[in-house]
């Protein structure tokens, strides 16, 4: 026992024995909510960080002197035109309008003495609409978007001299999303909308306050969004609260102190691009790329898009000068062309940034087009015109097909991409599916023919990311392909209405990166690379990526196959007109020395057609103004087309006529197979066109026996039977109650049912009117009743009956059902032509064909192929396809027999069980209040056929869309050269092979319109490009013969680069073999001697 000794322990820390005070835990929700109060506007703004944001503001005269010139109407004058006018004085608070008008402001700025030495001087301009800052001598500098989107322009240092400096601001009276009234952007524009100039002032910004604002915003996001079971979340909350406590109103030094606290969480480098210097072992996972999605038209017309391009791209060039990590990718060759033509100063800046590797032209297509409806050849031309523009202007083609916003992706795109030099594809629209979640982020997407591309769908699920903390976080948490690869792209920048990244986006991303490297948990974001860099690394893993075969069906926006019917009809027509013209001009240019291949006009027609295929134009989701524009463009296409057709015909010594006689009549045929068709040559008279080749002589069609013709019997009042050698059709009250195939001895309409029955549905989708038809519309089906059917025409070769159908007091249909003589037992179809007077609201008109055919799948023509889709609703994936896209036909076949429904201008279809249904007209009221109102003429045909879906359907659909044209010639037919086709498939070739395109090669010296210094070099000699595809999905062999003097044949890609020489080409016979994979698209170049 002893007393206390020297070795007794002394206290080893200052830790007090007794608790000096109670200390509580943060009450999470309250401490989190407090964070935004630190930088919120409203009742706090005079006492929080906002109160220290600016060190001085100068507004009104003499510092900001405003005068304006109002451009008349909807004119969009150039700078030079505008500044010539007298400007009147104006001021903040004034209103400008109406919607779509333009106002030019002369802004004279004099920086007051007390602001001259401040660190950052900006002009703040907010008129709640869009604008462009111009120098006093007409250089566009930077875009502005009101409503706080992008309202600052940094004053050059030269303005700090106390003298007057003049700039101009071009004001466009529309917002980023057009000019709708109120908050619902898809409502039609309000013509009388006016915009108030809320702000025009010189502001000295306190950079510390501004930076602190971004600091606490992002750390606050970490506090709000990191999981509460993570220490990183608790640390973020603590840091924010410490910042708030360190802040002293009015004390500038306290801002610095606050920022030091912030850096404990963000790291020391967030004020520069240094933050992105990757340290060892800290590889980035999320690759940010600046982007600006500019819809070529949507809630604004093309002419406004041209200005949006200049505004958005000049912003990016400006931002790149201040943020060295910013790289920017932008698509749509058309927009580059506009920029080049209309804004040479912006174009030069863009070109400089392109050459520095900062501004990345991407996408390889003319516009970001729809892919459901354009024909195969249109898709080819999107790439051909897009890639050629990029190559011609930037010396480089795109490697990535870029379509973030298009409404579904047709099944042959991977093949066409690869044939256009692109191995990658980016989209994200499928994240909008409202039935099934698409299961992959990164995968190999495989076309009908087996060709693949790497597809990436950014897991942040947007192409207009605001670069929020949550966007970076979602890039990992929503990544669906983590088993294979965990990297992703983050596509950030304001978009749809243009804009692109802002300084806020870049500052936020610096802090996100800072968090990853300092605290962790957030996926590490990196900037400064390219989309190609990202895909390069994916490509190395391609073997391990999962595969998706066939179309990327979009489970939303199914109404876009039908809305804006005229526009869709014009698209189909333009595609056929261009096909005819290229083929005939090719023939003429090789025949007549004096005939010049009209490359310039053809380019103009194609570029216009491709523009109208933009993903809000062709699908029908734009405002009325856009369709006024596209109507004009199509009218120009058809006008030029008519002229070119006339010129080509003249070179072939023929000319078009309305009527002719049997002796003089010739028909023009551009389809590459044997045709034998009856053609009406004058009222009541018809001739038989028969043969192959561009010009078919008319002959007498002999009706030797009664059944060679066609008959019409009246069975009872309003009940008629139309009968030819092949078919017997009973029409009753406008519907077909019996369709009997005499050859196959088979009734096609099920007992008691009616084909060609019009049905009307209520069509009120959840929100996107022009875009969507929702599944529940099917529950509202109503059959339309027709009045008595009457005889319309009764000729020996063709009979028709006509029926009127009432839709409502305002709307009605007049329908002609016709049957022609079945020539030489060829398979025959029932033709229908309806003229619809359409004045409905939110109704959907369709026509139904119940058929006695059973199959769990129906077939639909798509670009260069056929897609099979379920006829049942087994799973939600099957059911999601309750409305699908088809091109010229849809087909339901069972073994041995089937029925095809052909059409001349429609794209929406559904097959449910044995019921086939063609979609005709919708009546959405937003964003176009008058969409589809008025008169429409629509043709379709019911084509029952022996055997399952085959070449006959494919050919009939082409013929239905491309009827023979009546011609005459001053010469004897025998004297004409073009009786024989210049190029054709021999008889033993597989009939599924379609020779779809005949054109001159782009770079032939007598064709090319490229300038001499273009990297696209002219080639000596003449050559012809042929495009062939297998239309039915089987190995297809055939022999091509030509009577042109061809010396060499090569297989080329879609850009007309040689892939390989065709070694088996028989020069003497002008003959070579083709052997295509199922659904392969193959192009050949024939070089002429």
Q: How far is the CB of 53 from Zn ion (least distance, A)?
A: 34
For the chain, the first-to-last Cα distance in angstroms comes to: 122
The piece of 91-99, 115-123, 289-297, 827-835 that touches Zn ion (CB under 5 A) is 289-297
Q: How far is the CB of 777 from Zn ion (least distance, A)?
A: 25
For residue 863, give the nearest of 1025, 1031, 998 by alpha carbon. Answer: 1031
Using the minimum distance from each CB to Zn ion, give the nearer residue, 175 or 850: 175
Q: How far is the CB of 586 from Zn ion (least distance, A)?
A: 36
Q: How far is the CB of 497 from Zn ion (least distance, A)?
A: 10
DSSP 260-306: HHHHHHH-TTTTSGGGG-PPTT----EEEEEE--B-SSSSS-HHHHH
The piece of 287-295, 503-511, 977-985, 1004-1012 that touches Zn ion (CB under 5 A) is 287-295
Alpha carbons 1008 and 595: distance in angstroms, whole number:
15
**Phi then psi dihedrals of residue 391, to 5 deg:** -70, -45
Residue 1 to residues 5, 7, 8, 834, Cα–Cα distance (Å): 11, 15, 14, 117
Strands 830-838 and 812-820: antiparallel
The piece of 80-88, 89-97, 294-302, 567-575 that touches Zn ion (CB under 5 A) is 294-302
Q: How far is the CB of 293 from Zn ion (least distance, A)?
A: 6
Using the minimum distance from each CB to Zn ion, give the nearer residue, 403 or 967: 403
Using the minimum distance from each CB to Zn ion, give the nearer residue, 177 or 674: 177
What is the torsional sign of CA 597, 603, 604, 606? positive
The piece of 240-248, 293-301, 371-379, 620-628 that touches Zn ion (CB under 5 A) is 293-301
The residues in 179-218 that bind Zn ion, with binding defined as CB under 5 A, are none
The piece of 118-126, 397-405, 672-680, 901-909 that touches Zn ion (CB under 5 A) is 397-405
Within 10 angstroms of residue 88's Cβ, the number of other Cβ atoms is 11
Closest residue to bound Zn ion by CB: 405
Using the minimum distance from each CB to Zn ion, give the nearer residue, 617 or 853: 617
User: Peptide bond preceding 334: is omega within 30 degrees of 0, i.e. cis?
Assistant: no
Q: How far is the CB of 463 from Zn ion (least distance, A)?
A: 8
The piece of 398-406, 632-640, 772-780, 983-991 that touches Zn ion (CB under 5 A) is 398-406
Please answer whether residues 499 and 291 qualify as being in contact, where contact means their C-beta atoms are separated by less than 8 angstroms. no
Alpha carbons 1004 and 1038: distance in angstroms, whole number:
27
DSSP 137-187: TS-EEEEEETTTTB-EEEPPGGGGGSS-EEEEEEEESSBTTBTBSTT-TTS
Please answer whether residues 1064 and 1040 qualify as being in contact, where contact means their C-beta atoms are separated by less than 8 angstroms. no
The piece of 60-68, 75-83, 403-411, 1002-1010 that touches Zn ion (CB under 5 A) is 403-411
Alpha carbons 611 and 604: distance in angstroms, whole number:
10
**Site membership for Zn ion, residue 370 (CB under 5 A):** no
Q: Among residues 201, 215, 295, 580, which is the contact residue for Zn ion, using CB under 5 A?
A: 295
Using the minimum distance from each CB to Zn ion, give the nearer residue, 232 or 295: 295
- Non-local CB neighbours of 14 within 8 Å, separated by 6+ positions: none
User: Peptide bond preceding 62: is omega within 30 degrees of 0, i.e. cis?
Assistant: yes
Q: How far is the CB of 294 from Zn ion (least distance, A)?
A: 8
List, edge to edge, every strand of the sheet that includes 934-946.
790-794, 798-806, 812-820, 830-838, 934-946, 897-903, 889-894, 857-862, 865-870
Using the minimum distance from each CB to Zn ion, give the nearer residue, 409 or 761: 409
The residues in 257-286 that bind Zn ion, with binding defined as CB under 5 A, are none
Using the minimum distance from each CB to Zn ion, give the nearer residue, 597 or 627: 627
Q: How far is the CB of 289 from Zn ion (least distance, A)?
A: 17
Q: How far is the CB of 496 from Zn ion (least distance, A)?
A: 6
The piece of 104-112, 291-299, 804-812, 827-835 that touches Zn ion (CB under 5 A) is 291-299
For residue 267, give the nearest of 279, 249, 255, 284 by alpha carbon. Answer: 279
Q: How far is the CB of 764 from Zn ion (least distance, A)?
A: 24
**Site membership for Zn ion, residue 978 (CB under 5 A):** no
Within 10 angstroms of residue 277's Cβ, the number of other Cβ atoms is 11
Instruction: Report helix angle 503-518 to 207-225, nearest 10.
Output: 60
Both tokens of residue 1073? 């073999």
Please answer whether residues 254 and 262 qualify as being in contact, where contact means their C-beta atoms are separated by less than 8 angstroms. no
Please answer whether residues 145 and 176 qualify as being in contact, where contact means their C-beta atoms are separated by less than 8 angstroms. yes
Using the minimum distance from each CB to Zn ion, give the nearer residue, 295 or 517: 295
With H, G, I as helix, E, B as strand and everything else as coil, classify residue 1018.
coil
Active site residue 405: yes
Using the minimum distance from each CB to Zn ion, give the nearer residue, 498 or 641: 498
Residue 269 to residues 280, 502, 521, Cα–Cα distance (Å): 16, 20, 18
Alpha carbons 537 and 527: distance in angstroms, whole number:
15
For residue 617, give the nearest of 579, 563, 576 by alpha carbon. Answer: 563
The residues in 630-649 that bind Zn ion, with binding defined as CB under 5 A, are none
Q: How far is the CB of 771 from Zn ion (least distance, A)?
A: 12
**Centroid of chain to Cα 504:** 29
**Centroid of chain to Cα 730:** 43
Site size toward Zn ion, by CB under 5 A: 2
The piece of 405-413, 425-433, 573-581, 940-948 that touches Zn ion (CB under 5 A) is 405-413
**Site membership for Zn ion, residue 405 (CB under 5 A):** yes
Q: How far is the CB of 402 from Zn ion (least distance, A)?
A: 12
List, edge to edge, every strand of the sheet that includes 1081-1088.
993-1000, 1023-1030, 1081-1088, 1046-1052, 1058-1061
Using the minimum distance from each CB to Zn ion, give the nearer residue, 405 or 1056: 405
Q: How far is the CB of 298 from Zn ion (least distance, A)?
A: 7
User: Peptide bond preceding 956: is omega within 30 degrees of 0, i.e. cis?
Assistant: no
Catalytic hit among 221, 295, 370, 405: 405
Using the minimum distance from each CB to Zn ion, give the nearer residue, 405 or 485: 405
Using the minimum distance from each CB to Zn ion, give the nearer residue, 115 or 373: 373
Using the minimum distance from each CB to Zn ion, give the nearer residue, 557 or 887: 557
Please answer whether residues 194 and 95 qualify as being in contact, where contact means their C-beta atoms are separated by less than 8 angstroms. yes
Q: Which residues are catalytic?
A: 405
Which residues sit at the interface with Zn ion, rule CB under 5 A? 295, 405
């Amino acid at each position: 026992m002893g007393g206390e000794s020297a070795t007794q322990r002394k206290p080893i820390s200052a830790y007090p024995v007794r608790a000096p005070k109670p200390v509580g835990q943060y009450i999470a929700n309250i401490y989190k909510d407090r964070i935004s109060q630190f930088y919120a506007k409203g009742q706090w703004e005079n006492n929080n960080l906002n109160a220290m944001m600016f060190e001085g503001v100068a507004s009104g005269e003499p510092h900001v002197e405003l005068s304006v010139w109002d451009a008349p109407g909807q004119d969009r004058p150039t700078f030079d035109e505008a500044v010539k006018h007298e400007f009147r004085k104006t001021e903040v608070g004034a209103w400008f309008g109406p919607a779509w008008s333009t106002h030019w402001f002369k802004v004279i700025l004099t920086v007051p003495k007390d602001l001259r030495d401040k660190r950052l001087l900006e002009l703040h301009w907010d008129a709640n609409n869009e604008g462009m800052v111009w120098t006093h001598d007409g250089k566009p500098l930077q875009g502005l978007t009101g409503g706080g989107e992008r309202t600052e322009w940094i004053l050059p240092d030269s303005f700090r001299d106390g003298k007057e400096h003049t700039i101009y601001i071009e004001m466009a009276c529309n917002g980023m999303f057009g000019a709708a009234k109120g908050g619902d952007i898809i409502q039609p524009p309000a013509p009388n909308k006016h915009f108030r100039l809320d702000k025009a002032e010189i502001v000295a910004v306190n950079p510390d306050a501004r930076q602190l604002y971004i600091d606490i915003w992002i750390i606050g996001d970490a506090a709000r969004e990191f999981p509460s079971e993570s220490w990183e979340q608790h640390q973020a909350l603590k840091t924010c609260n410490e910042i708030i406590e360190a802040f002293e109103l009015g004390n500038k030094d306290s801002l610095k102190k606050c920022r030091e606290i912030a850096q404990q969480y963000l790291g020391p480098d967030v004020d520069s691009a240094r933050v992105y210097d990757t340290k060892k072992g800290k590889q980035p996972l999320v690759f940010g790329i600046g982007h600006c999605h500019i819809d070529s038209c949507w809630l604004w017309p093309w002419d406004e898009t041209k200005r949006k391009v200049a505004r958005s791209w000049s912003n990016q060039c400006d931002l790149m000068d201040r943020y060295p990590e910013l790289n920017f990718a932008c698509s749509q060759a058309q927009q580059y062309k506009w920029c080049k033509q209309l804004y040479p100063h912006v174009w030069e800046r863009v070109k400089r940034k392109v050459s520095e590797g900062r501004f990345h032209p991407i996408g390889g297509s003319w516009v970001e087009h729809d892919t459901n409806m354009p024909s195969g050849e249109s898709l080819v031309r999107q790439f051909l015109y897009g890639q050629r523009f990029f190559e011609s202007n930037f010396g480089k083609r795109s490697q990535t097909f870029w379509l973030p916003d298009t409404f579904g992706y047709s099944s042959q795109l991977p093949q066409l991409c690869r044939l256009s030099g692109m191995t990658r594809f980016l989209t994200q629209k499928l994240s909008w599916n409202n039935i099934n979640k698409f299961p992959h982020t990164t995968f190999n997407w495989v076309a009908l023919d087996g060709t693949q591309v790497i597809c990436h769908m950014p897991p942040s699920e947007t192409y207009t990311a605001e670069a929020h903390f949550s966007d970076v976080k979602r890039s990992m948490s929503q990544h669906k392909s983590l088993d294979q690869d965990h990297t992703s792209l983050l596509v950030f920048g304001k978009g749809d209405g243009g804009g692109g990244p802002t300084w806020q986006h870049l500052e936020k991303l610096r802090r996100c990166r800072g968090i990853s490297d300092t605290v962790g948990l957030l996926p590490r974001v990196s900037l400064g690379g390219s989309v190609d860099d990202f895909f390069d690394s994916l490509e190395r893993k391609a073997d391990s990526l999962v595969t998706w075969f066939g179309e990327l069906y979009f489970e939303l926006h199914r109404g876009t196959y039908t809305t804006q019917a005229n526009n869709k009809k014009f698209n189909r027509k333009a595609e056929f007109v261009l096909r005819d013209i290229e083929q005939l001009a090719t023939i003429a240019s090789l025949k007549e020395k004096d005939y010049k291949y009209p490359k310039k006009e053809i380019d103009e027609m194609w570029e216009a057609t491709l523009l109208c295929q933009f993903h809000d134009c062709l699908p029908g989701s734009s405002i009325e103004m856009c369709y006024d524009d596209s109507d004009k463009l199509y009218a120009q296409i058809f006008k030029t087309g008519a002229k070119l057709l006339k010129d080509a015909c003249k070179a072939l010594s023929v000319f078009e006529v309305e009527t002719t006689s049997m002796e003089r009549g010739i028909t023009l045929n551009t389809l590459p197979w044997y045709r034998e068709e009856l053609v009406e040559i004058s009222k009541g008279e018809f001739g038989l066109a028969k043969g192959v080749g561009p010009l078919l002589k008319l002959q007498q069609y002999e009706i030797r026996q009664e059944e060679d013709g066609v008959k019409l019997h009246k069975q009872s009042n309003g009940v008629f039977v139309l009968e030819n050698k092949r078919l017997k059709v009973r029409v009753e009250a406008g519907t077909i109650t019996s369709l009997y195939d005499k050859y196959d001895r088979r009734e096609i309409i099920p007992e008691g049912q009616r084909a060609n029955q019009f049905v009307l549905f209520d069509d009120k989708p959840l929100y996107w009117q022009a875009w969507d038809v929702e599944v529940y519309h099917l529950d509202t089906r109503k059959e339309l009743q027709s009045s008595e059917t009457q005889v319309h025409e009764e000729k020996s070769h063709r009979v028709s009956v006509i029926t009127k159908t009432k839709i409502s007091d305002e709307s009605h249909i007049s329908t002609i059902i016709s049957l022609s003589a079945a020539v030489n037992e060829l398979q025959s179809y029932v033709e229908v032509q309806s003229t619809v007077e359409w004045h409905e609201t939110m109704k959907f008109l369709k026509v139904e064909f119940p058929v006695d055919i059973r199959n769990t799948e129906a077939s639909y023509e798509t670009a260069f192929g056929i897609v099979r889709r379920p006829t049942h609703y087994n799973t939600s994936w099957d059911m999601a396809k309750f409305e699908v896209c088809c091109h010229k036909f849809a087909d339901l076949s069972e073994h041995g027999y089937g029925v095809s429904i052909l059409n001349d201008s429609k794209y929406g279809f559904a097959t449910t069980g044995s019921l086939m249904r063609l979609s005709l007209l919708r009546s959405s009221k937003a964003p176009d209040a008058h969409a589809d109102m008025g008169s429409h003429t629509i043709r379709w045909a019911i084509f029952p056929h022996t055997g399952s879906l085959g070449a006959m359907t494919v050919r009939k659909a082409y013929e239905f869309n491309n009827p023979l044209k009546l011609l005459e010639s001053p010469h004897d037919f025998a004297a004409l050269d073009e009786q024989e086709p210049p190029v054709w498939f021999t008889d033993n070739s597989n009939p599924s092979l379609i020779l779809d395109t005949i054109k001159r090669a782009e770079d032939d010296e007598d064709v090319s319109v490229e300038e001499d210094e273009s990297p696209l070099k002219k080639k000596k000699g003449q050559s012809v490009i042929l495009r062939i595809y297998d239309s039915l999905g089987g190995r297809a062999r055939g022999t091509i013969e030509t009577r042109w003097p061809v010396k060499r044949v090569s297989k080329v890609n879609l850009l007309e680069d040689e892939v390989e020489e065709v070694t088996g080409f028989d020069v003497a016979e002008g003959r070579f073999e083709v052997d295509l994979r199922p659904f392969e698209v193959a192009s050949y170049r024939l070089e002429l001697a």
